[in-house]
Amino acid sequence: MTATTSAPLTGPVSRIDPATAYRRPAIGPGMLRLDSNEGVLPSRALLGDLANADPELLRRYPDVCALEAALAARVGVAPDRVLVTAGADEAIDRACRAFLEPGRALVLPDPSFDMFDCSAALAGGELFRVPWRDDAFPIDAFLGRLDARTAVVAVVSPNNPTGSVATLADVRSLAAAAPHALVVLDHVYVEYADEDLTPGVLDLANVLVLRTLSKAWGLAGCRVGYAIGSPYVIAVLRAAGGPYTVAAPSIALALAQLERGAEPLRAHVARVREERRLLGGRLAAAGLAPRPSQANFVLVECGPRARALCAGLATHGVVVRDFPSRRGLETALRVTLPGSAPDFDRLSQALELTLQSEGLEP
């Protein structure tokens, strides 16, 4: 039976616009997906660990205690300062639900990660966007936006979708200027950056750091993120959502991946950084404008050719991210760096053919 679209439902609250919902588009077999910034391909042995797991893993509700302890040990904090979430998205949602309401505001960069906008709107908070167009973080403009209504300040570094970074001084300045607000440092791409700011903010009671295993650790399909903050803030976030949001198999795979160590991650990151340099050079040589990036992607300004370049790459088997309805990004493309020689060769070939067809050969 087909559901009617005219059922007498009470409509969603005004803060929800179905037209803005994001659903990752389906693609055909054999396409190379470079649109969502996933990381290293995990070892097949990781799945073997899961195949040999005790069936009790599926029978019982998940327990995140061991994973939170393992992540806390890596960071160098007590377990009560870590909360495991279903990706960093859930941590953002919990922070917004816990600290925003009508009359309270979120200050965030523009452009930046969409989930801050979505979660803040659902919580009823006001949004104040600070343009971040250049490579340097606009600290003075951010400081000028802070007031008594500011309850959450978002610093996405490296920023998605630009790859730009904030400095430790920037984050500490915001935390000092708004001691009544929660400063959320979205650090999910930090493994690809030159500097990890986490150690430098652990002493700040009003800073929450978001990390993930979805990017450099290669577990996007598991949806495992984590938040690092003061015991009080973590307790608040823990109360702002359900207790079983991360599945037990995901927890088991995350623990197994951490136990394997960071050596595969380091090799992957080194490869991505080299690809970042090579791709940026090729795009610039073709007359396009790649942004400096410290993430595992490159945002490139393509002008009026953006749609044609995106379609051309897809014709040659490579999917990248475009932003046709995103203010300020309508003529930009974001290209994930695959972190593997065969896939980068495939991207390079597709790019060369597409540039040739558009008359943009280097």
Instruction: Give the H/E segment covering residue 332.
Output: strand 332-336
pLDDT per residue over 39-65, tens digit each?
999 988 888 888 888 999 999 999 999
- Average confidence (pLDDT) over 93-100: 98
Contact 135, 291 (CB under 8 A): yes
Q: Which of 40-49, 301-310, 316-325 has the lowest mean pLDDT?
A: 40-49
Contact 214, 188 (CB under 8 A): yes
pLDDT per residue over 241-259, tens digit each?
999 999 999 999 999 999 9
Ranges of each domain in the chain: 29-42+263-357, 60-259
Reading the block at residue 217, the tokens are 């650790």
CATH number of the 60-259 domain: 3.40.640.10
pLDDT per residue over 140-157, tens digit each?
999 999 999 999 999 999
Quick one: pLDDT at residue 203? Answer: 98
Contact 248, 57 (CB under 8 A): yes
Quick one: pLDDT at residue 262? Answer: 87
- Domain 29-42+263-357 superfamily per CATH: Aspartate Aminotransferase, domain 1 (3.90.1150.10)
pLDDT per residue over 161-199, tens digit each?
999 999 999 999 999 999 999 999 999 999 999 999 999
Q: Which of 50-54, 95-99, 236-240, 344-348 has the lowest mean pLDDT?
A: 50-54
Going through 111-246 in order, the beta strands assigned E by DSSP cover 126-131, 150-156, 182-186, 207-212, 225-228
DSSP track, 240-308: TS-S--S-HHHHHHHHHHHHT-SHHHHHHHHHHHHHHHHHHHHHHHTT-EEPP-SSSEEEEE-GGGHHH
Quick one: pLDDT at residue 7? Answer: 56
CA distances from 312 to 296, 342, 356 (A): 22, 20, 10
Q: Beta 297-301 vs 289-290: how paired, if at all? A: antiparallel
DSSP track, 167-199: -HHHHHHHHHH-TTSEEEEE-TTGGGSS---GG
CA separation for the pair 264, 214 (Å, rounded) = 14
Task: For residue 329, give every residue at least 6 positions away whose Cβ sits within 8 Å of its Cβ, in sequence order, or none.
Answer: 111, 161, 299, 323
CA separation for the pair 201, 221 (Å, rounded) = 29
Quick one: pLDDT at residue 5? Answer: 56
Q: Is the peptide bond before 158 cis (omega within 30 degrees of 0)?
A: yes
